[in-house]
Structure 1
């Protein structure tokens, strides 16, 4: 499945679309080196299929490549970071 990335001046979002629904994670930029994951939403029809986790995994991979750090304010994102201690290097 493909995760689409939409970038803006102050933030952006990652979107995973399927025939049945979509999952979206939004983020804000806090300077040049920090992103704040604000919100994750998964349509009811595709909830529980791991799409939210896929979005967070993609953000972690992208921010590592860009040498940026993440602040997971979104409760879902924060719970994913607790479940994946191997992502700790990406945290601010």
Structure 2
């Protein structure tokens, strides 16, 4: 059974241009982005060492990409982690504009 206090929480902290993931009230990691009209470019993702190996990077990526989808934004995954995650989850490939997929080696 999962305690709600330790359930990962993902927040869009727009003033810092990043999605953050918190566990038990502690910052576990973040995904930086650059926002432009109609698009979001993910630039860097970090999961702090003490939270590694718990699948939090995937939870963070999914939440950030779901938020981009809800907002109708094109996704440019300059961050290698986000790019790799999209490559493993083809149901998110449609967020990357078709013309940009070759650049990111996403088919």
**TM-score, L = length of structure 2:** 0.76
Query: Considering only aligned residues, what root-mean-square deviation do their CA atoms show, in Å?
Result: 1.6
Question: Number of residue pairs matched?
Answer: 89
Q: For 1:23 and 1:48, how far apart are their aligned partners in 2?
A: 12
Higher relative contact order (CA 8 A, sep 6+): 1
Q: For 1:36 and 1:52, how far apart are their aligned partners in 2?
A: 17
Q: Decide which structure has the larger Cα Rg and report it.
A: 2
* Map of 2:101 onto structure 1: none
Deviation at 1:21, TM superposition (A): 5.3
Deviation at 1:67, TM superposition (A): 0.8
* Map of 2:13 onto structure 1: 6
Q: For 1:21 and 1:71, how far apart are their aligned partners in 2?
A: 25
Structure 2 regions of 5+ residues with no counterpart? Answer: 1-7, 98-107
**TM-score, L = length of structure 1:** 0.87
Query: Do structure 1's residue 24 and structure 2's residue 30 form an aligned pair?
Result: yes
Deviation at 1:59, TM superposition (A): 1.3
Aligned partners of 2:10 and 2:19 also within 8 Å: yes
Structure 1 regions of 5+ residues with no counterpart? Answer: none
**Equivalence map 1:37-52=2 (5 Å):** 37-52=42-57
* Map of 1:67 onto structure 2: 72
